[in-house]
Chains A and B, each alone.
Chain A
Amino acid sequence: MMDRAETMRRVAVIGVGHSTFGVRGDVTLQELAWEAIAEALKDAGLTQKDIEVSVVGVVGTREYELMPAVPVNDYAGLTHVGPIRVEAACATGLAALTTAHNYVASGMADIALAVGVEKMTEVDTATSLAVGGRAGNYLWEFHFVGTTMPAQYALYASAHMARFGTTEEHMALVAVKNHRHAARNPKAHFQYEVTVEEVLGSRPVAWPIKLLDSSPISDGAAAAVLASEDAVRRLGVDVPVWVSGIGYSSETPNMVRRPHYVGLEATVRAAAMAYKRAGISPTDVEVAEVHDAFTIAEIMAYEDLGFVEKGMGGKFVAEGQSDLGGKVSVNVSGGLKGKGHPLAATGLSMVYEIVKQLREERERGRQAPLKRYVGLAHNVAGIGHQAYVVVLRR
Chain B
Amino acid sequence: MSEKRTVKRQGPTIDSIPLIYRHKIPISKTHRFWQGLAEGRIRATRCGTCGSIYFPPQDDCPRCMASGLEWVDLPKRGTIEAFTKVYARPQGYEHFDPYIVAIVGVGDARIIGWLMGVEDERNVRVGMDVEVDVVEVGPGKLVPVFRPA
Contact = CB atoms under 8 A, between A and B. Distances in A.
Interface of A: 20-27, 64, 126-127, 129-130, 133, 139-148, 150-151, 154-159, 162-163, 183, 188-193, 195, 198, 203-209, 254-257, 261, 340
Given A24-B9, A26-B9, A192-B3, A261 B103 contact: yes
B85 A146 contact: no
A101 B91 CA distance: 39
Contact of A25 (B9, B25, B101): B9
A26 B13 CA distance: 8
B8 A22 contact: yes
B81 A159 contact: yes
Given A146-B92, A155-B82, 9 more contacts: A141-B112, A148-B86, A162-B126, A190-B5, A204-B87, A207-B87, A207-B121, A254-B56, A340-B7
Contacts of A22: 6-9
Contact of B84 (A21, A158, A254): A158
A146 B82 contact: no
A26 B11 contact: yes
A23 B7 contact: yes
A151 B7 contact: no
B4 to A, nearest CB: 5
Interface residues of B, number: 46
Contacts of A209: 84
Nearest to B144: A145
A143 B27 CA distance: 14
Interface string B49-69: 000000110000000000000
Contacts of B144: 145
B81 to A, nearest CB: 6
B84 A207 contact: yes
Nearest to A339: B7
Contacts of A151: 84, 86, 101
Given A140-B56, A255-B103, A146 B10 contact: no
B82 A207 contact: no
Contact of B103 (A27, A155, A208): A155
Return the 9 tightest CB-CB contacts between A and B, nearest first.
A22-B7, A154-B84, A130-B91, A162-B126, A155-B82, A256-B110, A191-B5, A25-B10, A26-B9
B9 A146 contact: no
A206 B86 CA distance: 4
A9 B82 CA distance: 45
B62 to A, nearest CB: 12
Contact of A206 (B87, B103, B111): B87
A61 B55 CA distance: 28
Contact of B87 (A143, A190, A198, A205): A205
Contact of B7 (A20, A127, A183): A20
Contacts of A20: 7
Nearest to A256: B110
15 contacts: A24-B7, A24-B9, A25-B8, A25-B11, A64-B16, A130-B91, A139-B56, A140-B56, A147-B101, A150-B88, A192-B2, A193-B1, A207-B121, A255-B103, A257-B110
A146 B99 contact: yes
Interface in B70-129: 81-93, 96, 99, 101, 103, 109-114, 121-122, 125-127
- Could you say which of B1, B96, B111, B112 has the most chain A C-beta atoms within 10 Å of its C-beta? B112
Contacts of B7: 20-24, 188-189, 191, 340
